[in-house]
Amino acid sequence: MDSMTGEKRRRQSSSQVPGEMNGPGPVELLQLHFHMRLSREWDLRFETLFRQGGISKWYSGVGSEAATVASAACLQRDDALLTIHRDSGAILRYYASCEDLVPGLLPVEKRHGSGKARELLYRLACQLMGRSDGFTSGYDRSFHYAHLDEDSGLRHIGMISHMGAMIPVAAGVALSFRQSGSDRVALNYIGDGGTSTGEFHEGLNMAAVLDAPLVLVILNNRYAFSTPASEQYRGESLAARAAGYGIEGARVDGNDPLAVHAAVSAAVDRARNGGGPTLIEAMLGRMRGHSEGDDSLGILSDAERQQYEREDPVTCFESRLLEEGIATAEHLEKVQRSCAELVLEIADEAAAAAAPELVPGARSVFAPLAGLPGSGPLARTQVDPGKETSYLEAISLALGDAMQEDPGVFLMGQDIAAFGGAFKVTRGLLEEFGPQRVMDTPIAEAGMIGIASGAALLGRKPVVEMQFSDFVSCGFNPLVNVAAKFHYRTGLDVPLVIRLPSGGGVGAGPFHSQSLEATFLHVPGLKVVAPAWPEDAYSLLREAARDPNPVLFFEHKYLYRRIKAPLAQDSIEVGAGIEARARVVRSGDGVTVITWGWMVHRALAAAEVLSAEGISVEVVDLRVLSPLDERTVLESVGRTGRALVVHEAQLTGGFGGEIAARIAAGAFESLDAPVRRLAYPDNPVPFNKELEAACLPNEESIAANLRELAAW
């Protein structure tokens, strides 16, 4: 337990970051008080609703009002606010001035806003109750939402449940400001428990390296759920970590709104002027448990609990306002009454609002392509007619042409700038487009994907290179829980491409040879592409860079320099994004092979062998795995009556099982034989090339399966 008294902590924090009453003027102080009291009444009302069964869960912000309100008060129009689950004070301050909500209570406050404050608070209450008028229309809970409004200058991005995950996203939002030449900043919060996550480190370290205008406030109430700070970290303070990242840091009394305001104001000014990120640790008392009803407040001793009650930031600030003669008792009572009445009125309206319409699948996981500008013929890098272009060269050309077409496209990855990437795909792009658009990053896959997601939310179009597809597992959380779900939850676009050098055949062993597409095909909201030809590698990557959704681009390492073909023309018809588009690359009427990537070439070789034996094989190259072109597959099987699905990934859980199930359901009456699968054995990829080759589907094993199917 931290036994420091509130007054002693205030003196100490004042010596680090001044928090005297001569900072903000009297009007600003009264405005801070209004929002602190509004936040308190908001929390008290929703605590009551939880006890009455009106909401299913509540994470109370009681005790954090000084830190959240005072920090959010430092933001200006078009700055971004990124919150977690106890930041209602920041949200209320960011959305609405006192004059917007209770006209005449205080002198008019000058701040950004749209005049929609009352409506926003109603929508917020509906969001918390799961009503249709909430920001996510009941599809996600509590503060798991986003509200971006260009007219009012509000850029609020809420949380996901995984702690620390939004720090890289906030860094990406801040990076987008820097790239666009804006002086806007991003303000983000994290609890003390969330600072132990890997994404805390990756996000803050990358923000520092990128000089991103980010202010990260740690709300340290000394416990993560029930784990005390002494069991979370050994450092003297969390703010001391700032030195390790080479950024500014400060520890302040989080119960003192003036100390918080001074620290955050300085950090915001520094960020606006190119000084990079700041880490601020606001020390709080724990006045509520982790969530209402979980009994975690019971871990406090009576002495701790009494201490934190004495240091209540709302009542202590009210006492200071009285002592300084800035407010009267009558004014404070009027503010409390006005806030309580306002919150009760809004909560009652929200409780009476309509529940979501119960239509499963009515909300799309993908942002629509229809109506997007830019589809049509596009000039591409001039190539000699008939010149053979490698698979790798086609990808490189596509990246350069996409960047030429759209200034919002930029590249991120390890060693992709001066070095040109592990496979030299990005060689020459740094010289052409500069370091702001071809960016080397630390080894931090979660940080990269999280930052790219944040930048994408604000309209940038990042293309992230994983050195090997295997390493994307380190970025699993931001990919499947942030990028993939954002449109479904919030309606926002996430135009993000992850390039994934994938597959085996080169003797690279179990950590550089995996085919992981099926892992992500199970995740709604991700588009998955696996081209087999230079022309498809070019056109599909161009379309991926235009798509408003996250796209995983599995490019096969074995094909990089082995497959060459002339690109079709000097201009190409490219759509507005990735759509289902399988292609029959060889026609036949005896048996169908469905495959993608490297296996397309092996299937074609097997089909050529069987043609001499009188067996006609049709080969379907899926090209795009999600969304799947099921119609082309079923039409092919309808013609042949037999189907073999071939893929390089392991058999169990591979995408072949899903395709086989769809064929069985959609083409059952056409089948003359069971649907077969040919895949890698259920074991990791061995290092020895001969061992690996023995496991991979090849021309002989594909041909043998086709013969058996044809003879059925």
Known catalytic residues?
Answer: 512
- Are the C-beta atoms of residues 628 and 661 closer than 8 Å to each other? no
Neighbours of 661 (CB within 10 A): 11
Distance CA 297, CA 318 (A): 25
CA separation, residue 552 to residues 150, 363, 461, 559 (Å)? 29, 22, 14, 17
Would you call 173 exposed, middle or buried from its count of C-beta atoms within 10 A (0-12, 13-18, 19+)? buried
683: helix, coil or strand?
A: coil
649 Cα distance to chain centroid: 27
> Which residues does residue 251 pair with via DSSP β-bridges, in sequence order?
281
CA angle 45–39–324, rounded 5-degree value: 130
Task: Read off the tokens for 512.
Answer: 């550089």
Sign of CA dihedral 268, 274, 275, 278: positive
- Are the C-beta atoms of residues 432 and 149 closer than 8 Å to each other? no
Tokens 């409506």 found at: 119
Q: Which helix (H) or strand (E) holds 35?
A: helix 26-52
How many residues in the chain? Answer: 712
Distance CA 233, CA 95 (A): 35
Task: Read off the tokens for 360.
Answer: 């499963």
**Rg of the chain's alpha carbons, rounded to an integer?**
29
Choose among 551, 554, 539, 411: nearest CA to 495: 551
633: which residues sit within 8 A by CB, 6+ positions away?
582, 592, 594, 620, 622, 659, 662, 663
Task: Provide the 8-state DSSP code for 471.
Answer: G
CA separation, residue 598 to residues 487, 555, 677 (Å)? 32, 9, 16
Distance CA 293, CA 547 (A): 44
φ/ψ of residue 463, rounded to 5: -120, 115
- Are the C-beta atoms of residues 472 and 450 closer than 8 Å to each other? no
Choose among 155, 154, 581: nearest CA to 369: 581
Q: Which helix (H) or strand (E) holds 691?
A: helix 689-695
How many helices (H) and strands (E) would you count in the chain? 25, 25
Choose among 424, 606, 427, 482: nearest CA to 162: 482
Amino acid at 401: D
Distance CA 525, CA 367 (A): 9
Query: What are all long-range contacts of 22-26, with beta carbons under 8 Å and residues at least 24 apart?
Result: 23/258, 23/261, 23/262, 24/258, 24/261, 26/326
Q: Where are the alpha helices (DSSP H) in 478-612?
A: 484-490, 517-521, 534-546, 598-611
φ/ψ of residue 617, rounded to 5: -115, 130
- Are the C-beta atoms of residues 17 and 270 closer than 8 Å to each other? no
Task: Read off the tokens for 430.
Answer: 């740094």
Q: Which helix (H) or strand (E) holds 283?
A: strand 278-283
